[in-house]
Amino acid sequence: MIHLPVVKAVDRKFEANPDEAPTEDIRDAVLQLEKEGEWIVPRVPEPFMEEKTKFGRIKKIPVEKTWHHKSCGQCGHIPGYSTSIFWLNRAFGLDYHDPTDQTSCTAWNYYASATSNPEAQAAVAMRNFAAAYEVGYFPIIHCGTSFGHYKEVRHALVHQPELRRKVKKIMERLGKPMVMPEEIIHYSEWVLAMRKRIAERQLIDMSMITATVHPACHYHKLIEEDAIYDSEIYGAQRSAIITSTLQALGIKVGDYSTWFDCCGFGFRHILVSRDFSRSFSVQRKIEVMIEEVNPDITVTHDTGCVTTLDQSQFAGKAHGRKVGLPVLADSQVAALAMGAHPYKVLQLHWHNTDNTRFLEKIGIDHEKMWAEFQVEAEKIKRGEMPYLTWEDAEKNNLFNKIK
């Protein structure tokens, strides 16, 4: 008789072991190529934070000296998203760089239209990495697609010497070095790693809030092993991204059956075939969240996801669907929790779905705060002030009022 060990489900615990990871640790190959003189590998500046990725490897996340690789969709259409990221850095007094020597990763266009090629995509990435290196800051990527795409580029450059040779030639023409950062970091990983510090500075009680989370496909599906996982969150069977952050702020996170589904963005679809984006977003995400969880907000961490989930609800409402769920980025929720102004910093007027009920529930007088924003906007309109400065934005923060 053969005796086999029996592990009861109740005793089972998922512990990721990096030694048993089914994929290579690409960072070893990146460092090896540095030794061979192929490129410069800027190290994550100290002091850094550490989080675990899918197979239990440690990912270093910088606290500061960060070079903010902005997102075209965030900056163009939901600018309070990036503004909140910068506000958080300022609130902690951290050194960061908001570059003008930065292009988009151009991957949105690539995935939408295929009017590009791997050499061009890799060269754009390497040009941006070199620009960060030249000013002595470490790249942190705002867009989920840029993050996923740059990981793909890193993989291709490591495994295709011919591609590396071609890109090197381009970089020589541009007068720039070949640079591959030690880690590729998404901003939401920084927010997650900073969650305890954010919670220590929290001014707005959010314990009465229930949220759903939508993780971006290009964050946790493209090169899946580089996403943050935590055995305390979903038993490490899903990425902990966003969920860890919200729970640290006291927000209840509700589970729903289409968590893994994409938002419906589709790259070309959101621009020229929006019937698909609208339908998928409303029927597979928003309605399911409302029916199964009935949350106060849904929180995501990518350009396309905020845009699609938020903007698609207008058409859903016209068709009598179950919609009306405010959509925010994790950076906006974190900044709001620390007392950032909902209009001067979070810039919630750029969002489509009504979010005032959520603001009321956490005790924010949105009418008064909108009036405060309008006063500043009128001054700009009349030419009495050229711009809203950080100082202007910070003077009416909830933080100051509570103090």
Partner 1 sequence: MALDLSTNKYADVSYEEKERLFAEVKADARWNHVMYGCYECGICVAACPSARFYDFSPRVIAQAAAREDVDLVYTLMNDSVWDCSQCFSCDRCPRQNSPGQIITIMREVAVKNGLKTAKQALEGYGRIIYKIMSTGTQVSPDMLQPNAFPDWGGHVKEISDNLEVWRKALPPETLHTTETGWQITDKTIVELYLIWHMTGVMKLIEGVDEGLFMILVDVMEERLADAGYDDVSFD
Residues 347-366 that bind partner 1 (CB under 8 A): 347, 349-350, 352
Pick the closer one to partner 1 by CB: 124 or 334. 124
Pick the closer one to partner 1 by CB: 101 or 360. 101
CA separation for the pair 335, 187 (Å, rounded)? 14
Pick the closer one to partner 1 by CB: 19 or 391. 391
Name the nearest CA neighbour of 266 among 257, 275, 258: 275
Written as one string, the DSSP assignment of 76-113 is HH-THHHHHHHHHHHHTT--EE--SS-----HHHHHHH
Of the ranges 216-224, 225-233, 327-335, 363-371, which one interacts with partner 1 (CB under 8 A)?
216-224
Least distance to partner 1, CB of residue 2, Å: 29
Least distance to partner 1, CB of residue 4, Å: 25
Contact 50, 61 (CB under 8 A): yes
CA separation for the pair 19, 107 (Å, rounded)? 33
Least distance to partner 1, CB of residue 192, Å: 22
Lay out the site mask for partner 1 across 227-266 (x = CB under 8 A, - = otherwise): ---------------------------------xxx-xxx
* DSSP 8-state code for residue 326: -
- The answer to the question of residue 100 lying near partner 1 (CB under 8 A) is yes
3-state secondary structure of 51: strand
Pick the closer one to partner 1 by CB: 182 or 225. 225
Site for partner 1 in 178-197 (CB under 8 A): none
Of the ranges 200-208, 267-275, 324-332, 355-363, which one interacts with partner 1 (CB under 8 A)?
267-275
- Contacting residue, 62, 148, 339, 342, with partner 1 by CB under 8 A: 148
Site for partner 1 in 6-65 (CB under 8 A): none
Contact 181, 130 (CB under 8 A): no
Pick the closer one to partner 1 by CB: 59 or 218. 218
Work out the burial of residue 36: count CB atoms within 10 Å of its CB; fewer than 13 is exposed, 13-18 middle, 19 or more buried.
exposed
| ω into 161 cis (within 30 of 0) | no
Size of the site for partner 1 (CB under 8 A): 93
| Continuous segment of H or E residues that includes residue 165 | helix 161-174
* DSSP 8-state code for residue 385: -
CA separation for the pair 26, 28 (Å, rounded)? 5
Of the ranges 39-47, 197-205, 322-330, 389-397, which one interacts with partner 1 (CB under 8 A)?
389-397
Q: Which amino acid is at 189?
A: E
